[in-house]
A and B are shown apart, each in its own frame.
Chain A
């Protein structure tokens, strides 16, 4: 861009009216002052040792070092599948094997991380930090998906009991704060289950997140179901399909496709909500930060730790929101 074009752009975008010009000057002042303060702090005042020393804890907690290769394999699988999925979405060539591939890799990755069946088991208490956040978020969304679809279908049901049970569940869960649900899951689940079944903390946390997420997902899917014209259902009946086939082959594929952007938004929300598990004692990313900050040598490094952890969350959430915006255009 030559000098004339630059001046033209500045005139149009920053200085076109008198109050815009004032705003621009004020903003530039604030930006320069802000940038100077922030960079001074970042480079000279902040003590970043707390991050450098504890990086492993932040990312994978106390996961045994000799099993790191399993995490690398998992990352490799995820990256591979993601690029294939993005490629297929961009070129608009649907790949029939993709959903199955994702489903299988989900189980494989859980097996890789957790162990059992031939691999050495890694106690779930050792999964901390970002690793735990990811495992909990993904597991919850995967389990809450069929649950949410069932709830949405149940809400439309003609059976009085089923429909009202679903409505009650959805409205109650959506009216409560997540921390209340987690409290209920942590405290009530052991009380309503028979004595011989004990759920460890991680499972109870996942249960709470799943129950919470399923209700919101149900409302999203319900919106999608309601957008399907009645004629689709009638055409299905007219060609002789029974209700189950109509639902699986005709209605649900269309409904789910319509709500994908909302679903991604929900996953972003769920990912952020995993931070609440730190309040019920789980050491995911936020939880492990607090426990690192409790160490005497790192006692006042709040800003450094929270900014670093905030950056980690931000990278994940912002990338997912970019994916969602891309999906909406498809």
Chain B
């Protein structure tokens, strides 16, 4: 006679039911508290506020914006700013990371160790602190326009920002943010690239040398393609980190999506709606980056029997 409380099929079903029940109860209690508290504070739930006037100005915008525009416009401006920072950051950090990563493998002792110092210093200090340093200690402490620092007349640095060739002007805030993000992520990417290159078996190097190929060609045709297989997954994580770390723009006053959303919350008190907007934005960005990189990853996998 099998008692039901010892029957493993029964227990399995019971466990399913109990877990559904428990989760449902917890969610219900939290939801109940939430609606109660929201009512108490007089904040309803709804996204209508997005149409209302934002009434705050935004320092830098990629599209035209006035304080009389809606919250929706403001958030859109923030989103575009976030995307701008993320994309530029990813590109520049990859370049910096590749250069430093290869430098870490140089036969030149000085180059190798300078790269090591760069990596170990930047990886072991908080990004936020580095951003504060770049913004406060460097960029807004730059001399005024009359005394600006100039690199061959092509790149000018002054306390209003950076002037690049082709008429591009970047504010101090954006300069600090991009520089900080790039150098920080570049340190991690350097180690990823170094690890990837080192993971390619020594035999590959030797076989290529034996064939008479020069080091530059070996790197390009034999080593890097194989190294990329190992590099792409952790590189994806770093790209995701760059996109997420762009939210620290609030620390230097650059109006990214988080900054704008946060200001929106301060003005409207719409905690849940703002939270949902932030979540959806960042999750979408993360998902896009992951999917893109995963497709790239698949094309690099070795075709095996």
- Do the two chains bind? yes
Report yes or no: A306 in contact with B132, Cβ–Cβ below 8 A. yes
Selected from B20, B34, B258, the residue in CB contact (under 8 A) with A177 is: B258
Residues of chain B contacted by A190 (CB below 8 angstroms): 37
Indicate if the CB atoms of A161 and B23 lie closer than 8 Å.
Answer: yes
A175 and B286 contact, CB distance less than 8 A = yes
Docked complex Cα distance between A293 and B16 (Å): 56
Shortest beta-carbon distance, A51 to chain B, in Å?
A: 14
With A27-B110, A27-B111 already in contact, the answer to whether A183 and B278 are too (CB < 8 A) is yes
Secondary structure at the A interface, as helix, strand, loop or mixed, is: helix
Contacts of B247 in A (CB 8 A): 177, 179-180
Taking a contact as CB atoms closer than 8 A, the residue among B15, B37, B124 that contacts A191 in the complex is: B37
User: Across the interface, do B279 and A176 meet the contact criterion of CB distance under 8 Å?
Assistant: yes
| A303 to B135 Cα, complex, angstroms | 10
- Is B76 interfacial (CB-CB < 8 Å)? no
Instruction: Give CA–CA (A95, B133) in the complex, Å.
Output: 44
Report if A272-B141 is in contact (Cβ < 8 Å); known contacts: A16-B107, A192-B33, A279-B250. Answer: no
A180 contacts B258, C-beta separation under 8 Å: yes
Contact partner of B120 (CB less than 8 A), chosen from A158, A195, A309, A318, is: A318
Q: Which of B110, B279, B287 contacts A24 (CB 8 A)?
A: B110
Q: Chain A contacts of B12 at CB under 8 A?
A: 158
Contact present for B258 and A13 (CB under 8 Å): no
Count of chain B residues with a beta carbon within 8 Å of a chain A beta carbon: 54
Task: Please tell me which one of the listed residues B111, B132, B251, B279 contacts residue A302 in the complex, with CB atoms under 8 A apart.
Answer: B132
A162 touching B133, Cβ below 8 Å: no
What's the Cα separation between A31 and B121 when bound, in Å? 16
Count A/B pairs, Cβ under 8 Å.
151
Which residues of chain A are within 8 angstroms of B291 by Cβ–Cβ distance? none
B126–A286 contact, CB under 8 A?
yes
Our pick among B121, B137, B250 for the contact of A314 (Cβ within 8 Å) is B121
Q: Do A286 and B124 contact each other (CB < 8 Å), given the known contacts A14-B108, A28-B110, A180-B247?
A: no
**A278 & B128 in contact (Cβ 8 Å cutoff):** yes
| Any B CB within 8 A of the CB of A184 | yes
Q: Which residue, A31, A286, A302, A309, has most C-beta atoms of chain B within 10 A?
A: A302
Taking the closest CB of chain A, its distance from the CB of B214, in whole angstroms, is: 12
CB of A75 within 8 A of chain B? no
Bound CA span A161–B265, Å: 33
Min Cβ gap A216→B in Å is: 10
Residues of B within 8 A of A188 (CB): 271-272, 275
B114 within 8 A of A: yes
Q: Which residues 126-144 in A have Cβ within 8 Å of B in the complex?
A: none
Q: Which residues of B contact A176 (CB under 8 A)?
A: 244, 278-279, 282-283
- Once the chains bind, are A302 and B141 in contact (CB under 8 Å)? yes
Q: For the complex formed, measure the closest distance between the CB of A212 and the CB atoms of chain B, giving whole angstroms.
A: 11
6 residue pairs, one from A and one from B, having the closest CB atoms: A317-B124, A13-B109, A177-B244, A275-B126, A177-B247, A302-B137
* Residues on B facing A (Cβ under 8 Å): 12, 15-16, 19-20, 23, 30-31, 33-34, 37-38, 106-111, 114, 120-121, 123-130, 132-133, 136-137, 141, 240, 244-248, 250-251, 258, 262, 265, 271-272, 275, 278-279, 282-283, 286-287
Q: List 11 A-B contacts (CB under 8 A).
A: A13-B110, A161-B16, A176-B244, A180-B258, A180-B278, A187-B271, A187-B275, A272-B125, A279-B128, A313-B129, A321-B124
